[in-house]
Structure formats: C-alpha cells, structure tokens
Structure 1
Amino acid sequence: MKKILLPLTLIAAPITAIHAQQQIEVEQIWNGTFRTNQLNALNTLHTKNQYSVLDYNRNTNSFTIDAFDFTTLEKVQTLFSSADFPEIKMISDYSINKTDDKILIATNYNPIYRHSFTSVYYLFDIASKSLIKISENAIQEPLLNKNGSKIAYAFENNLYVFDVATKKTTQITKDGKKNSIINGITDWVYEEEFAFVRAFDWNTDGTKLAFIKFDESEVPVFSMDIYGEELYPQQQVFKYPKAGENNAKVSLHLYDVVKASTQNVTLDTEKDYYIPRIKFTNNSNVLSVQTLNRHQNQLNLLFVDANSGKTTTILSEKDNAYVDVTDNLTFLQDNSFIWTSEKDGYNHIYHYNSDGSLNNKVTSGNWEVTDYYGYNPDNKTIYYQSVENGSTKRDVYSIQLNGKDKKQLSSLSGTNSATFSPDFKYFINNHSSSTQAPSYTLVETSSGKKVKEILNNSSLEEKLKKFDLPKKEFTTFKNEIGNDLNGYIIKPKDFNPKKKYPVLMYQYSGPGSQQVADKWFDSNDYWHFMLSKKGYVIVCVDGRGTGFKGAKFKKVTQKELGKYEVEDQIYVAKQLAKESFVDANRIGIWGWSFGGFMSSNCLFQGNEVFKTAIAVAPVTSWRFYDSVYTERFMTTPQENASGYDNNSPITHADKLKGNFLLIHGTADDNVHVQNSMLLINKLVSLNKNFDWLIYPDKNHGIYGGKTREQLYTKMTDYILEKL
C-alpha cells in the first residue's frame, strides 16, 4: 500500500489543540479555579453620590471600607481601615447609617441558621475617626436610629438600646429565654421562610422602637445529635413547627425611648396568624404592619398609631392559593406607597394613596416585575427589573409613577441587575449570560449609555478557553397538556447526532423557583460540563410550579406539591427517549432539597423511563417539613392528608426498580435527616437495593473542608457506574 505523507501543518494544528484542552476536575469546582471577580459588600450611600466597597489587602492583612464617586468611579476616600485599629482583625460585614457619618462594623462572625448570626460590633464615627465597642458580647442585628444617637440590638432573646453619647445600655425586655420567648429576633421558621431576622424597627425621629415578640413555649422541640470529636455527642435542641403543629404566638409592641415604657399593640386579626413585616412610615407616629392568616391566602397591611396603639386596615389582598410577601413596600413623602402584587395574574407595581385607595397600576402586561430598585421623587420615576424580554432573562427599566414613559435601561442580553446612585443619575449594571461572565459597568440612567467599565472577568473567560466548554442550548419542551416549559441542553463538545448518549436531567422544581436562566455558571454547571466531557447529555427543565411565567403557571401545584412537577419531568424524559441521539435505557435525574424530593419521586413513579436517580437532602414527606412553607402550598395535613401522602416518595417506594443514591447531612436543621431515615426504613422493609451516604454534623448545604469535593466525587462515580 502506498504511504501518503500529509503536510506537517495539517497534522500539527489538531494535535496542538488536543494537548491544549484541559478537563474539569471535581477539585477545581470547589477550590476557586472558576471563581468570578465581584464587587464585595457594595452599598450605596444615602446623602452623597457615592458607593462603598469592602476591600481586603493581602499584603498588609488589613480591611478597608472605601468610598467611590458614582460619576468618575474614582476612590474618594477610605472611610475605615482596620490597619488603624488593631482590635479589628477581620470585617465580616458593615453598614453605613442614613446620614453617612457612622459605620457599624461586624467582627467575629458566628452563624446560627441560614441568615442569622452573632458578631462583636463596633461603631465608627467617620469625622472623628473614633471607634466604640457596642457590647462585650456577641450580639445580633444592631440598628442605628436615624440621627445616630442610639443603637438597638438583640442579645440572648432580649432587646437592648445603647446610647452612643453616654455609652450606657438599657435593657428594654427581660423575659427572653431560649426555646421559649424571643424579643425582636425571628424564630427558626420565620427566618427560613419569611427571610428576615431583625424583627424591630426605629421610627423616623428615633423616639420609638417597634418589635415583635415570639412565644415559642407551645412549639414542638426538634433535636439533632452533634457528634463532634468528644467522647459523648452533644444535642442541638430548637423549636421547629412542622406542618399542622403549633406555631409561635406573635405579638407586637412599641417601646417609648423618652418614657422608657413598652406598649402592647392589639391586632384585629385571627388567633393564629403571622407578622411577616413591620416598617415605620415617613410619619414617625405611624407604623406599618403586614399580617397573614395561617393559610397565607389573605395579607393585610395595617397602620398603627404609635401613640394610641389604634390599628387601621389600609389594604387587604386575598388569593385562592397564597399571597407572597415582599420587601418592596416604599412610602413616599405624603405616605402614599408603592406596592407589588400578582393579583392580576402577574407580579406588577401599584401606587396606593395613604388611605389604601388605589391611585394607579404602574406596570402591566403578561410578564413579571422581578425586582424593585427605588423611586426618585425629583422626576417621579420608578426603577425596576423585569422579565419582559423573556422569562429566562432580566432587564432594568424606568417608568413614571403614573405608568407612562417606560424605558429599558439595560442593553446586553442575559441577566441584568442594578445598583442606583442616591440621585438616580447613574447605576452600576451587573450583567452576565450563559456566554458572558459577570461584568460591572457604570450606566447613565437618562440615556442607558455605558459610561465606563468597573470590573470584568475577561481573565476567567480566557482561562475557560483552555477547557473548551460546551454551550447551554436554551429551548422549550411541551408537557402533556401543551404548556411550554423552559429548558436547556448541554451536549458533549464532540456531539455526534448519529450516536446515542446517556442523559442526566437536573432540576429543583420548587414553587416560584427557576433553574433555566440566561446567566453565568454556578458550581453545578461546571459539574455538568465535566459530565458532558465524559459523554453525557445534560437536560434541565423548569416544569409547572416554577416561577416568572405568571401566577396560574406557578400556583397550579397548590395542595398537590410533587404531582404536576413530577408528571412534567417524567413526560419530558419520555419525549427525550424518542430522540435519535438519546439512549432510552440510560436516562437519570438528580436534585437537591426540593429537587431531591423530585428526583426520588421521578425514579419511583417513572421507573419505566428513569434508570438512575440521586437525591440530596430530600424532603420525603411534607408532613416532616416546616409549617410556614408547607402550609402555604398544601394547607395543613389535617385538611389535606391525601395531598401530603399521595405525593410522598415514601408512598411510592415500592415502585423502585433502578439505581438510587440517597444523601443527607445529620445536622440539617432545615430538611431534617429524619426524612431520609424514614425513606431508608421503608426501602429496607421492601427489600429494595439502593445506596445511601450520610454526612455527620453537616447541615443542608453539606459543605466544609473537603466535603463538597468528596460529595461530588461520589456522585460522579455513581453516574459513571450506574448511568
């Protein structure tokens, strides 16, 4: 046979490209290899056209809080430097008061639950450069009043007021007791599900402090063993109201600083209710209070007279399913207010008069407002973020208070979010997409024109070229009744449509959630890219119940969590199985938390299509989960037993045929390991073959040290072996 010699240039190029390509390793996903540059602790000042950023200098091992001019992006001054104060070893957080002359600095950070923590706090006076330690104790949620003369904070379930001038502390509640009474700080379930910790607020002149008291005495106790390294394990014991069980009894109180007296406020509401928000209006004598009935399908906005304690219902919203609580309530100078609601089927902005009568609906359309940035009284303009260009994208807009002259201010396709200057003349746009790493640019608000780039991740984009990553292909899938479901597909870089590939589906699927979004990659994306390099097709689908497509799409799962969501994932899997490039015998699914609940159910109920599933920290029965979240979507087990039981993975455990890996942390205070233990017992009683992995002393995030690397290595090996 005649030997044919190819030109050297033709064979050298592809060989070089092959050698240049790098494979993603699990270790790299968690060691910072793909970490993005970002503006840390970015805060807008209130009285100056500036923003502040927390910086760390590795050479001097010091922290600085620096102020930058919004117009020039030049550093104006260093507001604080830990190099000048040796007692400050590290800054974990900071906040600047509304007059921009004092900074609360948090050190010695110690987490409690998802949002809560204790820290040792200092107050720094910018003008005098003096530093005051607020308390020798690690405290919670210190809050300056408007003129900076007093600081309210919580310590061991009681509230205190620190006088800045005299450095004297007054204890204003004395009945606080662990697992019994909490003053001014939310209990576990409020923190987790209403997403706030500080349950107190100053009025505008700093003379009154409103706070919520939680009486947990009748809430059932949950305990977890903490194994540690000692001879005997310890127990963590806390109050956790599960679905249908007793909640904490909440009450509202007003402390008068001048009189040093506390007034109890009687709320005209049902016996069993929630107070998810309190906020003083622009009138120092008027407190706004939001209350929810236990079913969470009626939200009331009340005004409380801070002198008499008299309450007036200003606004009431009802829904057949539930009403969402937001932080968008904004009071204008005349105490009229801006409010967001999905009462017309989509989340939009409304302007109400101070008496609760509707002034006008500001935004409208078959799309959702996804964030509210603020109101500029000078030109009567509202600034917000929405999905008007598609539910997988985010853009920044302005609109007049009267609903006219709407403008799109962001120009890049993908996900845009904004931080506005105090005068609203500029904003910092944080943009990313599935093809563009996060970047920060200064934008002129009036024109929407880019003024200057602040920060980019071009070095990361350059680094990723060596990995030759596949792309996310955004698409839609039809479910069985014809709904369009957002989805994406990640195919191997060398994809050959004539070959057959195994498919791994990923989802979360919880109410109002979204996994399919045109934004930059998270850790799971890099893991999926790694699997695609190993020959797997990755598919993610947001089924019914997920968010940003209107209330009807989101709330269809009411009283049936896990029914329609599971039906959608199984149906899409069956459609994928018909594709010429899919190996119909090798389709798997995985998820975490609600996603673990889903992947378990999908494998059990869809055993004819799914071969393998991984469930991390799953709910296995909504009977075991907390009252606020569960009852919002399911009402109570006493009212809806079939909804709870018919959609539980435990109920369908007898249908397991494929490969199942169950993973949980024993110190999960959110989705208790009890969920997995009961499912394990059920599978064992049915003599089912499955795999499980327990992480001692790890919480819902299952992290710390090499934990995530070990976890994802285990999942990788399982996929390679079982799918």
Structure 2
Amino acid sequence: MRYIVFAFLMILGADVFSQSKLTLPDIYKNGVYRQNRFGPIRWMKDGQGYSSIEKSAQLEGDDIVRYDALSGKRSILISAEELVPVGQGTPLSVADYHWSEDNSKLLVFTNTRKVWRYHTRGDYWVLDLKTRKLSQLGKGIPATTLMFAKFSPDASRVAYVSQNNIFVESLESGKINQITLEGDKDIINGTFDWVYEEELECRDGFRWSPDGKNIAYWQSDTKGVGTFYLINNLDSIYSKPIPLPYPKVGHTLSAVKIGVVSSEGGQTKWFDFPGDPRNNYLARMEFIPNSQEVMVQQLNRRQNTNTVWTANIQTMALSKILVDQDEAFLDLHDNILWLEGEKFFTWTSEKDGWMHLYKVSRDGKTSQLITEGDFDVERISHIDPASGFVYYIASPDNFTQRYLYRSSLTKKGKAERITPMNLSGQNAYQISTDSKFAIHTFQNTTTPLVYSLITLPKHESVRVLEDNRALKAKHSALGLNPKEFIKVDIGEVVLDAWMIKPKGFDPAKKYPLLAYVYGEPAASTVQDNWADGDLWHHYMARLGYVVISIDNRGTKTPRGREWRKSIYGQIGILASFDQKAAVEKILKTYDFIDPTRVGSWGWSGGGQMTLNLMFRYPEIYKAGLALAFVSDQRLYDATYQERYMGLLEDNQKGYIDGSPITYAENLQGELMIIHGTADDNVHYQSFEMLVDKLIKHNKQFSMMSYPMRAHGINERENTSLHLRETMTNFWLRSLPAGGR
C-alpha cells in the first residue's frame, strides 16, 4: 500500500508543480530564483564616493567604476580595456580588488582557486592610476599560487604568500624578495592550517608594520598533527590519497608562533609567548597604529581564557594588558579600534551577561562600557572617533531581526535606534569613512535583498541600487504560503520557531510534520531573512508537509550570555531535549499535525541533531534525513568541539552522551544518511562508522554517498539537483505527504 500511495503522490506532486511552476530544476539547476548581488564596493578615502565592479559595455570584462554618493554621478575609474594584459586579447576577470591607502593604485585578484572553503589563491595584478600601467605580480613564481597580496603603507611594494612562504615585490623595479625560506608541506608561513582557517577564521597570516619596514607573521608547524586522508577515486585509474593535517579532539595541534622580519629580508625574530605552543592559540595579531608594537590575542586550548599582549617588534618584549575569562567559552571578535592617540582601544566582552563594546586603556587598567543596555551587540558596523559614535547591529526586542543602533564613544546614554521602524526584518550596513553615508541592505522572509544608499544618522534614502524586483515578482507569482513566526513555551524557556503550512491547507485535516534543525552554537535557523533554503521548504510544504524550524538553547542568537553558554559541555544533549520538547508542545498546540508522521532533517550539526532525535526519541520521530553529520564528536576537529564541550580528559562522558552513535541501536523509524566522500570538514569516516554501528545492531536504513563532494555536497555536474530529488523521494517514501 505504501508504494501505491507514493506513486499517487508523485503524480499529484507533478501536477501541482506544473500549475505553480515551482520545480526542483528551476531552484537547483536553472538559476530561476537566483538573486542579484551588489558590489563588492569599496568606500573611497574621501568618503564622498564608492567604487564597484560592473560589466563593461564595450568588452567581455569588468570596469571599476566610481559613484559620487550624493549626486549618483558615475565615472569609469578603470575600464575593461585597461585590464587587458599585454599579449592577451581579453581583460582580467575581477574576482576582488583593493585600493592602496591613498587610492592611487588598484590590486586586482583574478584566476582564483579554492583553498578548502574559500577562493584565496590565484593571480594578482596592479594598475597604477597615474601611469595607467598594468603589471602582474609574482612573475617567475608558479601561476595561481599567490595569496593575500596587500600594499605596503606607502604603496611602493606588495607582499604576498606563495607555497607557504612570504614574498615582497617592488612595484617600481619588479624585484621580488623571498623573506621567509622555511615554508614547505609542514611549515606554513603567512597563512594557516585547516583548523585555524575553519574555526578561528584565520587566513591572511601576515601584517605590514605602519612604517613599512617590517612584516609580522604567523608560522605554523604541522608536524605531529594527525593526518587524515581523503581518497579521490574519480579522477584516475588508481585512487589518489589527499593528505590533510587535521587535529581531532584531544590530539596534537599545530605549533604556532609569531615572528618579525625586515621587509627587505633577513633573520626572523620570534616572540616568546608563555605556554605550550601546541596547547594555545595565537588567534589574532594586529599592529597598533603609529607604533612598533603588535597586539596579540592568545587563547588557551580550552578557549575560556583570552590573554591580550602588546609585543614590541624592536625589543621583542611582551606586556600583558588584559585577560578575558569565561566559565564556559569565549568567542573571538575583530572590533578593536585605537582611540585618542592610541591611549585607548575598543574591546568586546560578555562580562556583564550581554555582548557589549568597551573602551579600555592601553595598559588595560581601566574599562568603560560604551553600548549600555540589556541587549547583545550582534556585530559592529563602524567605529568613528571623529563623530564620536559607534554604529552597531542589535535587536533587543525580536531575536529573529536585526537593526542599526549607535552609542556615544564618550558619553553614557541609552542606545539610539537608527533603522526606521517600518524596515521590519534584517538590516546590514557598509558605512563610509566619515559616517555620512552607508550602503544599506534590507531583507526579510518575503523580500529579497534590497541595496540602497542612505544618509546617516537620519537614515534617509538617496537611491535604490538593486531591489531584486524581478525575483520578488517571481516569488509572489508562486502564491507561497508565508513563513509564520511562532513562540514555543517548553516550560524552562520560550523558543523561537517558524512554520510553513501546506498548499490548500485545511485545518480540519492532519498533516505530516517535517522539522528542519541545526541546533549548534555556530548558527541559527529561525531568522526573519531571505534564506536561500526557503524554497526547498516551500517545495516540501506544497507536497503536503507542515514544515517547521526551532532554535533551541545555545544557538547563535542575541539572547544574552546565559542562552548561548547553556549548551557548554552538553552539545547534542540539551539541544536535542529542547527540540523534542518543542515538537511535543507543537503537537499539543496544533490539531492539524499528525503525531504518527513526524520527521526531522538537518545538515552538518543539524545532521548530528537529527540522528540524536531519531535515536533518543524514536517514539516521536518516525523518519529522519541526516546530511554531512558528525556521528561521534571525538571524530571532529579539536578547536570547534573542545570550545563547546571542554577537553576530552575533563568531559569524556559528555562527548559520549552527546554523540548519536552511542544510541544507534535505538533506531526504529526510517533513516537516510547522506555524505560527500571528499568532505574535509566532517569526514566520511563519521558516515562509515555510523553505518558499521547500524549494521552491527541489524538496523535497516538508506544511504547515499556523493563521490569527491565536500561538506556542501555541491561540486561537479548536476549534484545539487540530484541531491534534492534524492531527499524528496526519501520523504515521500518514508513520511507520506498530504492531509488526512
């Protein structure tokens, strides 16, 4: 009977979509619902205009254009014709660009290659706006190996990384100096290993001194770090192992140190930070303006103590100026700006229970709260000492939305909301150097990204830059049921959630419930934004599912320290309880949901959560779909897992109790697991270990492997469409759709 129902629903689904024109190929292959982006823009030094990349009207290439902020007057700063290298017929494709400090030279990044998650490797070219000369950097160095190129303070030279060494090139003579020599497969200079990039957001690993005479840089020694091997079985007759130094929970980290070398080359001097370099992180390092000192943030391995040092590059002396501590864990922030002649700096902390910005003296002895109130500063948009204000994003009253506020840098007072009340949703700002203008981005669940130029602080619109009107019209024509935001009271706490009801919803019928879950501290699913994944959920709702998502305690939302830190030491335990309790409350609250047809799905941490729900609460969850999941937390990287769980030696029971593989024998419902075999983040090993455990306990399940696809399972031809059709077929087969 199940397969007859399944065949009928597939026919019914095809008919529905032929009428509504919402199809998986249009979503995942044909680009019908792709939104237009704007930029990337760069505010010019004078603050009166901004530059952007635009397609040339003359050639198949890119122009760099300038817009006057007030008048909107457009001028071409650099035409595509000027970006045609000598001897080549086509202009450079501009992936990204950067101005020198005086806006006299432009650095163009092109021909890029992906390094793990991001395109950070490729070729760089410089165009001098005075001479109009276009020059390629790194001649004689292997092509597409340059990373993180940046101008010296006087724009006479450019430094960059290639093959784990740092080079400095003179723009006048073209002479290239290799200023580090030790870089190889184990020693990394000027960039980072996998875990620093993924979990500490460290990629660009060197800094010019303010006077341009020296370069401070990180060096990572990966010898001793366990090597995980990804296996490529697709691209040759014999399999090819891809080695990846990857520190798993409780195992050896890279030894990282910071040194200083003359920008002309020579011997590197190394700072002697206390502690074992393999059990501490040197997570941040920046030069203090107008000085010979760097500020360095050193995290202990538990990531609950951040020691801030000033380090003199001449004497190599260290001075401890600040220690930030938390009983659980600390997040890193990049909101430091030096004030009043470098006598003070800004610092972000949760020490009063909320995420706030402070003004701290250079010696660390005094600290003054800037952003006052019982709310979280979600992110800093702009700090402007000249106007005396800090602009930041917060949402004191609705944790699913985001608005611009400002506070005085010098006076105590209530936070001032800048975003108008009618812009209900999520707002972001790229603010000019003088705080008079901003590129404003607005979105909510029914409005794709709208980019506008506004004035500050009155937030008056100057002009709309991109409104994605055509995309909004396409969505409106689909007649989608709205995403409804709801509150779910589970007794201990009230959780945010959303719900999408099926097409032709009849409250007298009972529908299957499909719960989309993430649940980890790194993100949130319940946000009033234009989410790329929403069309998938609308697609499933049209098949006849009630789709929900719930943010459990510990998710990344601006609800204060206690909310975020409650998950510490119990990843997979507290969150799965909250998810289960919320679904139970939803089943009691809404009569139109069928308690015999409840399913969960999630990706990465959400895949882990789905497995925990299926194995821990089989009486509730009848079907589950888990993608790219961690089955045993001890298999994941040390930096992420130890931050939220503590060290394995201190919390072994928590690691075991929080891992779904521990409860695999409890599986009762329909389960499908999906993974990419080239997943450098959550290894295919996690998939195979769970498969082995399920087989041991004679549990039946479905599985799909995507060869040589990484964590996003989107590489190679037709992958995204095939994946979503596979997911759809699983749900129709295992959790029959439609009202009854």
Q: How would you bin the TM-score normalised by the shorter chain?
A: over 0.9
In structure 1, the partner of 2:649 is 638
Preserved CA contact (<8 Å) 2:372 2:414: no
Preserved CA contact (<8 Å) 1:21 1:467: no
Deviation sequence 1:637-695 (CA, Å, 0-9, x none): 23211111112111100110001010000000000000010000000111101000000
Count of matched residue positions in the alignment of Structure 1 and Structure 2: 703
Offset, 1:66: 1.4
Alignment partners' CA distance in 2, 1:605 and 1:58: 60
Q: Verify: 1:649 aligned to 2:657, yes or no.
A: no
Q: Which of structure 1's runs of 4+ aligned residues deviate more than 6 A?
A: none
Quickly say closer, same or farther: Cα 1:568–1:490, change in 2 above 3 A.
Answer: same
In structure 2, the partner of 1:683 is 694
In structure 2, the partner of 1:12 is none
- The 5 A counterparts of 1:190-589 are 190-257=196-263, 260-271=266-277, 272-335=279-342, 336-402=344-410, 403-404=412-413, 406-411=415-420, 412-479=423-490, 481-522=491-532, 524-547=533-556, 548-578=558-588, 579-589=590-600
Deviation sequence 1:253-299 (CA, Å, 0-9, x none): 01123574421111134552101111001123111111100101000
Preserved CA contact (<8 Å) 1:63 1:83: no
Quickly say closer, same or farther: Cα 1:67–1:405, change in 2 above 3 A.
Answer: farther
Q: Which amino acid aligns with 1:658?
A: G
Deviation sequence 1:6-58 (CA, Å, 0-9, x none): xxxxxxxxxxxx99952411111123211112203122223442222122348
Quickly say closer, same or farther: Cα 1:73–1:507, change in 2 above 3 A.
Answer: farther
Quickly say closer, same or farther: Cα 1:270–1:230, change in 2 above 3 A.
Answer: closer
Alignment partners' CA distance in 1, 2:675 and 2:18: 38
In structure 1, the partner of 2:45 is 46
Preserved CA contact (<8 Å) 1:152 1:162: yes
- The 5 A counterparts of 1:55-134 are 55-57=54-56, 60-81=59-80, 84-86=83-85, 87=88, 88-115=91-118, 117-134=120-137
Preserved CA contact (<8 Å) 1:47 1:98: no
Q: Which amino acid aligns with 2:41?
A: L
Quickly say closer, same or farther: Cα 1:270–1:298, change in 2 above 3 A.
Answer: farther
In structure 2, the partner of 1:695 is 706
Alignment partners' CA distance in 1, 2:31 and 2:265: 54
In structure 1, the partner of 2:5 is none
Offset, 1:361: 0.3
Q: Verify: 1:145 aligned to 2:183, yes or no.
A: no
3-state SS in 2 of match to 1:546: coil
Offset, 1:366: 2.5
Q: Verify: 1:707 aligned to 2:707, yes or no.
A: no
Offset, 1:73: 2.8
After TM superposition, the structure 1 stretch with the greater mean CA deviation from structure 2, 351-360 or 296-305, is 351-360
Alignment partners' CA distance in 2, 1:519 and 1:629: 26
Alignment partners' CA distance in 2, 1:717 and 1:698: 21
3-state SS in 1 of match to 2:268: strand
Unaligned runs of 5+ in 2: 1-15, 736-740
Offset, 1:509: 0.9
Alignment partners' CA distance in 1, 2:480 and 2:82: 43
Preserved CA contact (<8 Å) 2:517 2:601: yes
3-state SS in 1 of match to 2:235: coil
Alignment partners' CA distance in 1, 2:239 and 2:68: 53
Alignment partners' CA distance in 2, 1:425 and 1:21: 49
After TM superposition, the structure 1 stretch with the greater mean CA deviation from structure 2, 184-193 or 485-494, is 485-494
Deviation sequence 1:585-605 (CA, Å, 0-9, x none): 001000000000000110111
Preserved CA contact (<8 Å) 2:170 2:176: yes
3-state SS in 2 of match to 1:596: helix
Offset, 1:576: 2.5
Preserved CA contact (<8 Å) 1:334 1:354: no
Alignment partners' CA distance in 2, 1:575 and 1:269: 49
In structure 1, the partner of 2:11 is none
Alignment partners' CA distance in 2, 1:556 and 1:625: 21
Offset, 1:82: 5.1
1:716 corresponds, among 728, 731, 737, to 728
In structure 1, the partner of 2:23 is 25
In structure 1, the partner of 2:12 is none
After TM superposition, the structure 1 stretch with the greater mean CA deviation from structure 2, 28-37 or 684-693, is 28-37
Alignment partners' CA distance in 2, 1:260 and 1:181: 18
Q: Which amino acid aligns with 2:405?
A: Y
Deviation sequence 1:388-414 (CA, Å, 0-9, x none): 242111001222102436422212110
Alignment partners' CA distance in 2, 1:683 and 1:538: 28
Alignment partners' CA distance in 2, 1:528 and 1:82: 45
Preserved CA contact (<8 Å) 2:624 2:670: yes
Deviation sequence 1:57-91 (CA, Å, 0-9, x none): 48731111212122223323333425651444422
Preserved CA contact (<8 Å) 1:115 1:191: no
Alignment partners' CA distance in 2, 1:594 and 1:383: 32
Alignment partners' CA distance in 2, 1:720 and 1:58: 48
Quickly say closer, same or farther: Cα 1:461–1:258, change in 2 above 3 A.
Answer: closer
Quickly say closer, same or farther: Cα 1:50–1:653, change in 2 above 3 A.
Answer: same
CA RMSD of aligned residues (A): 1.7
Offset, 1:512: 4.4
Alignment partners' CA distance in 2, 1:134 and 1:167: 8
3-state SS in 2 of match to 1:645: helix
3-state SS in 2 of match to 1:651: helix
Q: Which amino acid aligns with 1:128?
A: T
Alignment partners' CA distance in 1, 2:494 and 2:683: 34
Deviation sequence 1:210-233 (CA, Å, 0-9, x none): 001101111111111112232112
Quickly say closer, same or farther: Cα 1:58–1:598, change in 2 above 3 A.
Answer: farther
Q: Which amino acid aligns with 1:68?
A: Y
Offset, 1:521: 2.9
Q: TM-score, normalised by structure 2?
A: 0.92
Q: Percent identity?
A: 31
